A and B are shown apart, each in its own frame.
Chain A
Amino acid sequence: MTVAARFAAGRLPRTVHPGAWWLWALGLATAASRTTNPLLLALILAVAGYVVANRRSDAPWALAFRMYLFLGLFIIMMRVLFRILFGAGAASGHVLLDLPELPLPAWAAGIHLFGPVVLEHVLGGFYDGLRLATMIVCLGAANALASPKRMLKAVPAALYEVGAAVVVALSVAPQLVESVQRVRRARRLRGGAQRGMRALRSIAIPVLQDALDRSLALAAAMDSRGYGRNRHLPRSIRLLTGMLTLVGLIGVCVGVYALLDGSAPRYLGATMLPGGIVIAGIGFVLTGRRIDRSVYLPDRWRSAEFAVAGCGVGAGALVHLTSRIDAGNLYPSLSPLAWPELAPLPVLALVVGVLPAWLAPPPLPDTPRFGATAPVPVPSVQPGPAPRPAATGSAGKERSVR
């Protein structure tokens, strides 16, 4: 294929591997964790929002990004509120509000509430809250961009069954909602009670029983299709994996203890924790060898995925580099109060971070909601009123029911 044709093919709408989006988001979050400059953090937020606005799909989970924005706002407000509440006598500086001080009794740990509200103090809380909020919003961007179903495809072999259970759950959940709607409609037709505990019980229990029966039918279907054929592992391998898992977990315990206890030598925590993880990881991988599965249409990492992941990692690395060579602008001073400034290197990091908005292929135009079928154009028998502008899936089902 010519270069132009390959480039055009790369621009075809498709979903990007979720791992690439997660790496990009983690790179941005790492960049955000290295600075308290509010300007830089706000720019990282804007970068995340811009990429999400451009590259998110139309699936319902993609609309959760604004929830993360609200969560970030909540965190910032809590931090600022805490600083205002508990700032008595903490710092001197520009006083914004002179609130009276309220000492709490001794049983409430002798805390002093309120007191003069100092700008530098509140700004410190704002900077810290903004940093945490930015990291959370970056994770929210990953949630909005990464498709959960494709993530489940990438589950390691040792967790194959658990992953299959989660796939079943994701498929059944929308059916449950429809089931509830169906039962409620039937009750309404029969003239049953609409509210109160009796209604709840007579809706919930049939739905539950229906779901459980459906699960047994699903199990029979899986069995008839050959699910659950494990490769036979010799006893020695099973013993080995058990030993590795145990030793690894014990190493993790010791590492956690060493990390928290300052008197333990530093090398203990630094070696036991990663060492325990590695050993348990080997046991984990060996456990997965009993599963003999083949993957239908495996998810490959193509150039767009590498580009997206590389941009995130690059942004994080550039900010990390800045913190090593010229970190002054990354931490604007609060005493004396100084305007936050931008340096060229962090801006370069931001440019690298926003590139996935163009480098990643555009999202699919209108992805059907998972679990629901596409609207089936069934001609309605009676010329009834136009169907409500409900979700396309349930509207289609309702039409076919009538």
Chain B
Amino acid sequence: MIAAHRARIARLAAALAILVLPATAQLTVTAPAARAVDTGKGTPGFCPDGNGVTVIVDFQELGGTTIVRCAPGEQATGLAALKNAGMQITGVARWGEAFICRVEGKPGANSEPCIDTPPASAYWSYWHALNGGSWTYSQWGVLNRKPPIGSFEGWSFSKDKTETSNPPPRVAPTRPTPKPTPNAPESERPKPEQPKPEQPGPEQPKPQPPGSDPAGNPPPAGGTDTPDTTGSRSVDPLAPGPGVAGNPMEAEPPPAAPPVVDPSTTATGTQPGAGPPAAGQPSGTTPAGATWTGGEELARTGEDSGIPITTLIGIALLAALCAGAAFTVVRRRRATSAVR
């Protein structure tokens, strides 16, 4: 009786130890690789010509610089364009990727589990536009429409908006015409410590409603935020050219945008301002004042290190529990058949 009791206590202790182990192991495991732009797909910035679909992702209140990337070639659906531009997306568990729930990991799992369609108070709104046109709220789902080649696909996070006031992406859907002369990158090195007040507010025109770009300005996009060219954004070199890594830390939030964009931009940490400007990392600011980035600096860190250790621990736990249950069942069956 005492021996049986002791045996039972020993089993209990062993089981609890097995269960508690992963808790301690978790503390030593590195965090999983962050989801981010897949630089293997798509090219940063606007599409250079009409042979591709430009995808623009505007995080709005979620925080983070607008991402502009190009999905080259024909795209069968909006979903294909989004994926081929290198964006990391998560669908909903119920409908799969037919309904986009997370783009680049936002909104996080704490606020949106993505099991079923997100509510209308916080979801990714889907827009499309032709080159030089204006943003139109899409009447079709991401799988039900084929974006014409050369057009623009827009994704803008709509939070607490009504049906008629969903915000379109703040980057205008106009492809910059390529300028023949190369620009001198050195003169446009970003100054990371550029304080925000250097960009006086009044100098930035209010963000235009989509489509009403200052006409005539050939390159509405591209360019860098250099301190000495605060007022002359219109002659900024275009993108994608040998632009300089934009410094979104000095992002001048359009006055209409809530100020939360700015601190969260610095807080996201995805754009370390002092990244060495490499060729092919375009970004810039539209004349409307919206900063965008090609997303190269958001590239996914290397992973593919095999099965993570917590998964293995979980599988071991599962095996232990199943073995315990099977053992108990066999023992009981043997006991009852002995009685009979």
Determine, out of B61-69, B169-177, B324-332, the stretch whose residues face the partner at the interface. B324-332
Question: Complex: how many Å from CA A40 to CA B310?
Answer: 11
CB-CB < 8 A to B14: which residues of A? none
**Known: A46-B322, A341-B308. Contact between A351 and B16, CB under 8 A?**
yes
Q: Is the CB of A331 within 8 A of B91?
A: no
Q: Is the CB of A351 within 8 A of B20?
A: yes
Measured CB to CB, the closest approach of chain A to B43, in angstroms, equals 19
Contact with B along A328-358 (1 / 0, CB 8 A): 1011011110111111100110110010001
Instruction: Say yes or no for B109: interface residue by CB 8 A criterion.
Output: yes
User: Which residue of A has the minimal Cβ distance to B97?
Assistant: A91
Determine, out of B185-193, B240-248, B312-320, the stretch whose residues face the partner at the interface. B312-320
Measured CB to CB, the closest approach of chain B to A220, in angstroms, equals 39
Q: Is the CB of B109 within 8 A of A327?
A: yes
Q: Is the CB of B93 within 8 A of A124?
A: yes
Query: Which B residues from 191 to 245 make CB contacts under 8 A with A?
Result: none
CB-CB < 8 A to A333: which residues of B? 35, 90
Question: Complex: how many Å from CA A325 to CA B311?
Answer: 21
Contact with B along A53-76 (1 / 0, CB 8 A): 110001000000000000000000
Determine, out of B110-118, B251-259, B282-290, the stretch whose residues face the partner at the interface. B110-118
CB-CB < 8 A to B181: which residues of A? none
Instruction: Say yes or no for B22: interface residue by CB 8 A criterion.
Output: yes
User: Which residue of B has the minimal Cβ distance to A46?
Assistant: B321
User: Which residue of A has the minimal Cβ distance to B328?
Assistant: A53
> In terms of DSSP, what is the predominant structure of the interface of chain A?
helix
Say which residue of B80, B109, B143, B321 sits within 8 Å of A331 (CB atoms).
Answer: B109
Instruction: Say yes or no for A39: interface residue by CB 8 A criterion.
Output: yes
Query: Which of B32, B97, B329, B340 has the largest number of chain A CB atoms within 10 A?
Result: B97
Instruction: Say yes or no for B165: interface residue by CB 8 A criterion.
Output: no
CB-CB < 8 A to B80: which residues of A? 92
CB-CB < 8 A to A370: which residues of B? none
Contact with A along B74-109 (1 / 0, CB 8 A): 000101100100001111011011100000000011
Instruction: Say yes or no for A50: interface residue by CB 8 A criterion.
Output: yes
Q: Is the CB of B313 within 8 A of A335?
A: no
| Chain B interface residue count, Cβ-Cβ cutoff 8 angstroms | 52
Instruction: Say yes or no for B136: interface residue by CB 8 A criterion.
Output: no
CB-CB < 8 A to A344: which residues of B? 22-23, 26-27
CB-CB < 8 A to A341: which residues of B? 32, 308, 310-311, 314
Contact with A along B14-30 (1 / 0, CB 8 A): 01100110110011000
Query: Which of A36, A53, A92 has the largest number of chain B CB atoms within 10 A?
Result: A53
Q: Is the CB of A331 within 8 A of B114?
A: yes
Q: Is the CB of B322 within 8 A of A334?
A: no
Q: Is the CB of B115 within 8 A of A43?
A: no
Q: How large is the interface on A (under 10, 10 to 19, 20 to 34, 35 or more residues)?
A: 35 or more
Q: Is the CB of A49 within 8 A of B322?
A: yes
User: Which residue of B has the minimal Cβ distance to A124?
Assistant: B96
Measured CB to CB, the closest approach of chain A to B336, in angstroms, equals 6
Measured CB to CB, the closest approach of chain A to B71, in angstroms, equals 12
Say which residue of B19, B110, B315, B318 sits within 8 Å of A327 (CB atoms).
Answer: B110
CB-CB < 8 A to B328: which residues of A? 50, 53-54
CB-CB < 8 A to A58: which residues of B? 336
CB-CB < 8 A to A89: which residues of B? 77, 143
Q: Is the CB of A128 within 8 A of B93?
A: yes
User: Which residue of B has the minimal Cβ distance to A50?
Assistant: B325
Question: Complex: how many Å from CA A350 to CA B23?
Answer: 12
5 A-B pairs with least C-beta separation: A327-B109, A46-B321, A344-B23, A39-B314, A53-B328
A-B pairs with beta carbons under 8 Å apart, 13 shown: A34-B113, A323-B109, A323-B110, A323-B113, A328-B108, A328-B109, A334-B96, A338-B32, A341-B308, A347-B22, A347-B23, A350-B19, A354-B15
